[in-house]
Amino acid sequence: AAIADAKIVFLNGLELEHSLESILEANATGTIVEVSNGVEVLAFEQAIQESEEAHDHAAGDPHTWMDPNLVMTWVKNIEDTLSELDPENAADYAANAKNYISELTDLDAWIQTEVAKVPVENRKLVTDHENLGYFIHRYNFTLVGLVVDSLSTGASPSAQELSTLEDAIKEKGVKAIFIGATVNPNLANQVASDTGTTLITIDTASLGGEDSDTATYIQFMKKLVTAIVNGLQ
């Protein structure tokens, strides 16, 4: 009902909401806007093994919110859409967008200051899937490998892949492994134990409730960056 009644449906885009396509086609009557439109899209660094997943993410890495500078593009797309549909309030939308872009600029500067606390040789990441690409690109980190070598949180690497990953972690002196809160930690725990690294749980996908410490995007990014910086110092 919410989709059917909405005048505008904002999506991330880049096929992130692939599973919603049929629902939107059947129910959406308003304007559908992909907020990532206009972003310079990165390809995934690691090969995607499953053909179905490769199809779902053929557009490239959809996790554009991992770089606040790209979220500025989101803001502009949202402002333009609202102003077009509600021109009487266009000045308010423009002012709000300008203010929020200023906050995002400050966030980017804060992240750079925090990242500077991590020695360059420690800026190496191992994650459960490839969701930090834009963060890595913006703030000069390196992706060493994935504990789960696909976009599916259910896929498991082979023994050979696991051995190769553990060798890379040891060789490159990786300090921590970062996994999402919804991922089964057993495999990551094994890798952390085998390699003497710390396992850290992070959230890269969603905001918290209204009263949580990740109720806003800026809070969300600050908590994420703090966890990464503390884990790698």
Class of the domain covering 2-112: alpha beta
How many C-beta atoms lie closer than 10 Å to residue 117's C-beta?
11
Residue 169: what pLDDT?
98
Residue 52: what pLDDT?
42
For the chain, residues with pLDDT lower than 50 are: 47-56
- End-to-end CA separation in angstroms for the chain: 48
Strand partners, 127: 146, 178
The ranges assigned to domains in the chain are 2-112, 117-232
Residue 149: what pLDDT?
52
Q: Which two tokens stand for residue 156?
A: 């498991």
Phi, psi of 143 (to 5 degrees): -90, 115
Strand partners, 33: 10
Quick check: do 2-112 and 117-232 share a fold? Answer: yes
Q: Label the pairing between strands 198-202 and 124-127.
A: unpaired
Residue 48: what pLDDT?
41
Q: Label the pairing between strands 124-127 and 8-11.
A: unpaired
Phi, psi of 183 (to 5 degrees): -90, 140
CATH (residue range 117-232): 3.40.50.1980
Residue 58: what pLDDT?
59
